[in-house]
Structure 1
């Protein structure tokens, strides 16, 4: 498993430090999930009217601050961007995670759906940018029809069998040896202790561990049989990116999950670090500094869809 470090770092030399720092506004916002749970987010708005809107759907355990650079970059190009923390994560977490009850699916069914409703404007295209779980979550939302297109990065089925040998052994050891005693003692997954992301509610940890044991993830869970039909209802165009050095979501893992969006126009995109002049992309590099060329490729696609 790869580390999620320096999620709120600032870097004066970053290419996303713009010459005109006042050409956008960033403000903290709160909005309701579909069940009324209050979520915290950040709304990045251009000073001029936006050409389109983007909801950023985070990866599991990754706080919204990790996506700040991308959000600022897209806003500079005229997009209004909403980042947010799912319930139980970051600024949307309760004071104490122990005893906090929720389903892993709530992040899509209730939280992402609430974010879509919050930002939706029938007069402006609304795009979803998903990272890992964020690309899975579109099929969980009841309002996916409001999304013009989804561009997702590193979305796969989570099964260790799709991973390279060393990563496979590492992941199995963490799931079966490291995590269980940590959760037994704390009542939640203290992921932050390993510098791997935000702490996770126990329910998220339990379901995630269960589903990652199967090549088709939660689609193999008899308790989630209705998800097959639910995902088949999605007709939103999807652009699914896999970096060839992303050990967590290689193309085989991506195909295993994306096949369930069977009625959505699907575009599979493989990228390599060399293609963008990067040393590594991995599972987290899609949104780290110096990734503007990756962002440009996506935003150019959005521009084309807006023009059409």
Structure 2
């Protein structure tokens, strides 16, 4: 039987970061930390975290500032940007490392990043992580997008997003059916990166070294029907991990017994067979 516990950490800016642990009954053989996609609550990953715990993998999920159990104010009042979330991810890794040492004998930790979560790993103390899975990841440089997204991308990044953030204080993606609801500073920073062919490196070139410092095995899972992240976008992000032992694995849905997987499908409840085939073999164990 899986036991769950939630603790609230304090971010560098004083905001809460809610972290939930899903622990098996006995001694785990490994651990996994799931870093969520943009505008996605930790609760989206409850099913896969519980499933991992049932297989003797202690799993952790967390909410980025502004979402789920970490939300303290309306989204329009959230002051965090992507680099704030990156610092929060580092805080979570430190906590998980200490928790594993205290309660589970320091079993190996695997980072499972989904979409945006694929980009935050380098900003943590990844010496505390044994290996990583980056799933459905990519950069946002608009010319890497496939149609129809490529047609609307310039309008989104140069006009729609800046205007809506200026007027509303946040990006109301759900209302306009284009991405999710996103804090203003996050959307402003992300838009700036997406307007640059080198993505964040074009704005913050010092972070080339941040990515290059990751030397662990990194498995990159992508799907051919992911309309949010094209093959070019995924390959672009993968190229950032110059120091890692990168293992790209790209699947058509039919190869994993599905009609569609897309950008969000891998972690949906009911996909236990995909977790068995694609995730569990990548989790480091003793």
Q: Same fold (TM over 0.5)?
A: yes
Aligned pairs for 1:74-153 within 5 A: 74-108=52-86, 110-120=87-97, 121-122=100-101, 123-141=106-124, 143-153=125-135
Listed one character per residue, the Cα deviations across residues 228-282 of structure 1 (whole Å, up to 9, x for unaligned) are 1111111121001110111222332122122121111110110111112212111
* Cα distance in 2, alignment partners of residues 306 and 34 from structure 1: 32
Q: Which runs of 5+ in 1 are unaligned?
A: 1-22
Alignment equivalent of 1:301, drawn from 275, 282, 286: 282
Distance 1:197 1:64, change over 3 A: farther
Q: 1:28 offset after TM fit, Å?
A: 2.5
Alignment of 1:167-178 (within 5 A): 167-176=149-158, 178=160
Residue 260 of structure 2: aligned partner? 280
RMSD: 2.0
Q: 1:166 and 1:89, CA in 2 relative to 1: closer, same or farther beyond 3 A?
A: same
| Structure 2 counterparts to residues 190-205 of structure 1, below 5 A | 190-194=172-176, 199-205=181-187
Residues of 2 paired with 1:106 and 1:54: CA distance? 22
- Counterpart of 1:270 in structure 2 is 250
Conservation of the 8 A alpha-carbon contact between 1:217 and 1:257: no
Secondary structure of 1:289's counterpart equals: coil
Matching residue of 1:6 = none
Question: Conserved in 1, the CA contact under 8 Å of 2:218 and 2:246?
Answer: yes
State the 1:194 CA deviation.
4.2
**Structure 1 Cα separation of the partners of residues 23 and 14 of structure 2:** 25
Query: Equivalent residue of 1:59, what SS?
Result: coil
Aligned residues: 279
Q: Is 2:225 aligned against 1:242?
A: no
- Where structure 2 has 5 or more consecutive residues not aligned to the other structure, the ranges are none
**TM-score when normalising by structure 2:** 0.90
Q: Deviations over 1:193-216 (max 9, x none)?
A: 346665322110101111112232
Whichever structure has more helix as a proportion of its residues is 2
2:196 to 202, 214, 218: 214
